[in-house]
Amino acid sequence: MSRPRWRVERLALLAVVVLLVHTMMTSVSLPTLSPYPLVDCSGITNATAVLHSSSRQVIHRDVRDSKRSTKSEKERLQLLGSGTVPTIETFWIKEQRKPTPKIRFLVDYVVAGFPKCGTTALGHWLSSHPFIKDTAEEEHHILMKDMNYTTNRLYESLLLPWGTDENMTAVVRGFRCPHQLHTEWGIRMLSQVFTETKVIVSVRHPVWWFQSYYNYRLEQNETHLLKDLPNGLIGNLKGIFASDKSPWILQTATGEFHRYLSAMKKTPMTDPEEITLLSPFWNRNWNITHLPRMPNPVFLSEISQLSDKNITRRALFRKDLQTFLGLPSEFPPIRHVRPQGTDTGLNQDKRINICDEKHAPVRAELMNVARHASLWLRKYFMESKSVYFSSGDFLDELLQKWMDDPCR
């Protein structure tokens, strides 16, 4: 009788050990705070790794909708080609405190995202073009402000300096605001007011994005926006837009680039697989039905394209962005620029290497984010007729790398 009991006790002990090991492994690879559903990413990868031809056309201003855009372009030429600077009243009705329809011609482009995804280098490179006029300061949140402020600031920064210049109609005006897509107000300003503005978006592998952003906050001594350990930043926002302050609070959810891009409504959102990839947001009572569809054309890039060593692709990237913005001449070579003020030397002992084993939980959550974003960007967002990119095959390859933990 004792022998069977011993066997039962041994089996019970073995079961407990297996359960403990499984729990430990699960706690590392799939944090309990993760809102992401279990997805067989390996199977979906093969089904959704759609390759996009590098010869896909990049639009000019008047191609998006031939009838409407031709009319808009004619109106723009009449407004800016008269040889005199339009008055502020052309764009803003002071008595009624509201903009006129012509306000959409004040901004031709915005580098709208995302922080720590190469937007500083991208913005400086764009401003090096002789036909681009951007705001004088390093960074702006113009389209996230009060409309009166927005109109006056854009008028003073982007229109007045060019005045009666003979090339006034050829000038492309814009600025950089990496948090533009992080707030509902920022998205509404583009989709309802600045409908002619072209949107440039750069993304990055969420794992490397998090490390860069975390260390940047330390460099700027903005420790109040961080928690003691990166693992404490595993979390999610309430809904798609928690508040106008949420983008500055670093969380793993802040790196859900597909969350903010999906608010543009450029994808069907009827395919069950797409809903699964976006389901973390649905699970948080996510609702964008009240948001209008964004008509603005989007140029999508991955940060690695800015430092691509392939000469042919690099030249094509410059040419495609030139065509997208409707510029009359080519861009100079891309140059790297560090964000202003990052060489502070502060908190060096607290900066992280995301690949350290102690950061495995936060990295596991970031990989959940990365895989869902990779699949959604490649299968759905890049298939939108108003989303453009350079060297599609290469971009697809870069985004497919998001399926793998870069630390392994």
Residue 178 has pLDDT above 60, yes or no: yes
- Are 110 and 174 in contact by the 8 Å Cβ rule? The answer is yes
Residue 298 has pLDDT above 90, yes or no: yes
Residue range(s) defining the domain that contains residue 284: 29-403
For residue 383, what is the domain's CATH number? 3.40.50.300
Residue 14 inside a domain? The answer is no
Q: 30: closest CA among 351, 371, 398?
A: 371
Residue 23 inside a domain? The answer is no
- Are 334 and 306 in contact by the 8 Å Cβ rule? The answer is yes
Q: Identify which of 68-72, 109-113, 155-159, 163-167 has the greatest average pLDDT.
A: 109-113
Asked which of 43-57, 235-249, 329-343 is least confident by mean pLDDT, the reply is: 43-57
Residue 18 inside a domain? The answer is no
Residue 146 confidence (pLDDT): 80
Distance (Å, rounded) from C-alpha 53 to C-alpha 302? 16
Share of the chain above pLDDT 70, in %: 70
> Domains in the chain: how many in total?
1
239: amino acid identity, one letter: G
Distance (Å, rounded) from C-alpha 74 to C-alpha 76? 5
Residue 138 inside a domain? The answer is yes
Residue 48 confidence (pLDDT): 37
Residue 9 inside a domain? The answer is no
Please tell me which residue, 106 or 261, carries the higher pLDDT value: 261
- The average pLDDT across 264-289 equals 78
Residue 119 confidence (pLDDT): 92
Residue 195 confidence (pLDDT): 92
pLDDT digits (tens, 9 = 90+) for 211-229: 999 998 888 877 766 766 7
**Is beta strand 98-99 parallel, antiparallel or unpaired with respect to 92-93?**
antiparallel
Confidence of residue 236 (pLDDT cuts 50, 70, 90): low
Residue 356 inside a domain? The answer is yes
Beta bridge partners, 198, equal 109
240: amino acid identity, one letter: I
Distance (Å, rounded) from C-alpha 233 to C-alpha 251? 5
Residue 344 inside a domain? The answer is yes
- The average pLDDT across 237-255 equals 63
Residue 116 inside a domain? The answer is yes
